[in-house]
Amino acid sequence: MALTHGDRRWHRPLLVLGIACGVVALASLAAMPFDDRTILGESVWVKSFKFGFSFFAYCLSLAWLLSHMTKLRRTGWAFGTLFAVISAAEVGVITAAAAMGTFSHFNASDDAFNQVVQTAFQFVPVMFLANVVIAVLVLFQRIGDRAVTAVIRWGLLLSSLGMFAAFFIVTVGGQGQRTQVDANGTEVPLNAGHGVGDLDGNGMFLTGWSTTGGDMRVAHFIGLHGIQVLIGLGMLLSFLAVRRAWLRDDRVRAAVVRWSAAGYLGVFATAAWQAVRGQSFTSPDAASLAAYGAAVLVAAAGIALTVARARRTVDAEDRTLELR
């Protein structure tokens, strides 16, 4: 599965934005040791780092994907540009809020700066719909070989589900109206929070995911970045196919991708289920462990059967050639 192709051009707005978001992530990470300002116990730059990294990975993946479309390329290109514009605004206001040492999400202040921030967030559903449109366009066309098509279709499904999970962060949290102090010592009214069954502020290092309650951001992250996991898997399978004859059939690689994606989907669903129950991702109970285990075992069994069947087919073909 080639990352590039001579007659394909990556979506330039998404490519440029992805690189810019990578710079934001690196700059935010570099600022943490030198800026001791904190919000809810973590560096003011943690959020801009997380969003910069996520959009760096996702925008580059989407830019690559759009270069592989064979039908309705202009339509896909237009929705990719719409996604890039809204994403740029979101990362921009989050980074600006970090620099100012104040809250971005759930901030109910009536100052002019926060009104700009919240206005930018109002377009997030449009960004989600743009991603869904691209996913639908991909469903009705074959892109590359079967393995590449499976990577793109399943990857977009997982990422769309991951984005959709973000809309439940507010509804399942139930934290309601409250006041918190920002990095400047200013009391800021907040209208929601991330934690489920637990107030924000007890998060893991860098991710901020709650260690004492549920957190839908875990499922959001897992789903959103499923496409990068599958792209990496597709590249690995292509590399292994050079030495493994039974992997050279794109139907075999596609089946491995589909089984892996199904297992990944199970992990995503279990993480969301944990969050809804107010259970920390780091403290799964027996039911959660069983669900995670089932997802992994189903995927592993499917892959094992696929590989065994493919190897038998290749062995049979080799024996036939020897008899000739």
pLDDT in tens, 209-246: 888 888 888 999 999 999 999 999 999 999 998 888 88
User: Residue 71's pLDDT is what?
Assistant: 86
87-110 pLDDT tens trace = 999 999 999 999 999 999 888 998
Class for the domain spanning 1-143: mainly alpha
130-167 pLDDT tens trace = 999 998 888 878 777 889 889 989 999 999 999 988 88
Backbone angles phi, psi at 260, to 5 degrees: -65, -45
pLDDT at residue 3 is higher than 80: no
Chain centre distance of CA 134:
16
Q: What is the mean pLDDT of residues 309-318?
A: 73
pLDDT at residue 2 is higher than 60: no
Task: Give the dihedral of Cα atoms 145, 149, 150, 154; nearest 10 deg.
Answer: 170
Mention every residue, 6+ apart, whose C-beta is less than 8 A from residue 296.
263, 266, 267
pLDDT at residue 176 is higher than 70: no
Q: Which residues pair with 178 in a beta bridge?
A: 190
pLDDT at residue 322 is higher than 70: no
Q: From CA 211, how far away is CA 1, in angstroms rounded?
A: 38
Backbone angles phi, psi at 180, to 5 degrees: -130, 160
Is residue 280 within 8 Å of 215, Cβ to Cβ? yes
Give the global pTM: 0.85
| Residue-range domain boundaries for the chain | 1-143
CB neighbourhood size of 140 (10 A)? 8
